Structure 1
Amino acid sequence: MKIIVIGATGRVGQKLVAKLAEDKNDQILAGARKPEAIMKAANVKPFKIDLHDTKADLLAELPEADALIFAAGSGGRDLLQVDLNGAVKVMIEAAKKGIERFVMLSSRDSLTPDAFSGDDPSPLANYLIAKHFADLWLIKNTTLDYTILQPTALTETPGTGKVSLGEYTNHDNSIENVANVLAQIVKSDNTIGKILPMSDGATPIEDAVSEA
């Protein structure tokens, strides 16, 4: 399987590429603005992609693949260009490339407008707004076989390999757990068309994804 990872040098992206690369039957096409920073492995092929580029440039930059995982983020520094517009442009151009499977790393409350509205909005309100409209575009304006993963707060703690999918049982997610769930989701057709809340939990990842 050929799997694109957009955001391959990010906190989640790095661990995701490493996890996917464990299956030597797969080719991991790892995209980032600085491809030289991507891990080296026989089945990992770095490529340069800049989410500020035009749609035509992105179309040229995207390789052929069976699936794409969007794990890029600006860390709050460039929400409109990266987290919103960059994501939408990748969706549009992935479809043109014939890439039908699209896994989106999103966030808890991205599709809950009250979380970023009213008198007491989330401190992450602007980020959630960007993710909200990117997620809505994926759902409403594409025919991609999507899965949207909505984790809670990301932490640097070691992954336990156990999570909760479909409901929140914890305020946190190990970054390693999130990466491992994304790697499992991309190969799990039962998750297509689903929006999956996620937190660290008590169910082994393989079981949680198969039951999602």
Structure 2
Amino acid sequence: MRIFVAGANGRVADATIAGLVARGHEVTAGARDPGKVTVREHVHPVALDLHDDVETLARAVDGHDAVYFLAGSRGGDLLATDAYGAVKLAQATQSRGIRRFVLLSFLFSLQPDRWSDRLMNYCIAKFFADNYVSEQTDLDWTIVQPGALTEDPGTGRIRLDPPDVGPIPIPDLADALVAVLESTNTYRRTVPLIGGPDPVDEAITAY
């Protein structure tokens, strides 16, 4: 498949791109500074600015089979990037007849009573992006909702539908993001996860 990844020079995106390539996909890596994208075979860096209008974003994703939104402003540009950037990329994806859309969010993003006061503005931005994608598009979307990201080595294992927030190593989140791509059982569903006991592919397939 030809996959477009927005936010391609981030930590999660870098690991996800490596996993997609390992499974035989061609990846277009969209980043504001494509020179910061890790050089790999089958990865094609391109300039992408999520402040652009929908038509410009649509031209960027045109011809792909799936689109990932893995961008994040780390609190610096929450409305324009984390919220509206995701909305516009979803609109762009739909306008080009691309069905598959994978959106990275956070655990309990659609449950405001579970949010942390410390990250309230981020939570609000993601809430509106996730609501738009899930309620106002007809994409085959999956919203992946991880717990607290860590830099620990991957274990290859996760826990889905956790009762509480917990840590998840970035490599394990990336494995899950890769696994949902062709798992039709995750279409139009949220996938909440933290680190845990279950092999990633088995957990996603059985979800």
TM beyond 0.5: yes
Output the CA distance in 2 between the equivalents of 1:154 and 1:84. 20
Question: Which 5+ residue runs of structure 1 have no aligned equivalent?
Answer: none
TM (norm. structure 1) is 0.93
What does the per-residue CA deviation read over 1:12-57, in whole Å, with 9 as the maximum and x for residues that have no partner?
A: 0111111111123x21111111111112222111111100112222
What are the within-5 Å matches in structure 2 for residues 92-107 of structure 1?
92-107=91-106
Identity of aligned residues (%): 40
What are the within-5 Å matches in structure 2 for residues 192-203 of structure 1?
192-203=187-198
Residue number among 155, 177, 200 corresponding to 1:205 in the alignment:
200
**How far did 1:170 drift?**
6.1
| More helix by percentage | 2
Q: Report the counterpart of residue 107 of structure 2 in structure 1.
A: 108
Q: Report the counterpart of residue 175 of structure 2 in structure 1.
A: 180
TM (norm. structure 2) is 0.95
Q: Report the counterpart of residue 4 of structure 2 in structure 1.
A: 4
Output the CA distance in 2 between the equivalents of 1:142 and 1:175. 28
Q: Report the counterpart of residue 30 of structure 1 in structure 2.
A: 29
Question: Which 5+ residue runs of structure 2 have no aligned equivalent?
Answer: none
Output the CA distance in 1 between the equivalents of 2:58 and 2:188. 24
- One-letter amino acid matched to 1:90: L
Q: Report the counterpart of residue 39 of structure 2 in structure 1.
A: 40
- One-letter amino acid matched to 1:136: N
Q: Report the counterpart of residue 84 of structure 1 in structure 2.
A: 83
Checking the alignment, whether the CA contact within 8 Å between 2:61 and 2:67 is kept in structure 1 is no
**How far did 1:82 drift?**
0.3
- One-letter amino acid matched to 1:134: A
Output the CA distance in 1 between the equivalents of 2:89 and 2:165. 31
What are the within-5 Å matches in structure 2 for residues 131-142 of structure 1?
131-142=126-137
Output the CA distance in 1 between the equivalents of 2:98 and 2:117. 34
Q: Report the counterpart of residue 159 of structure 2 in structure 1.
A: 164
Partner of 2:118, secondary structure, is: coil
Output the CA distance in 2 between the equivalents of 1:71 and 1:82. 11
Output the CA distance in 2 between the equivalents of 1:28 and 1:211. 27
RMSD of aligned residue pairs (Cα, Å): 1.3
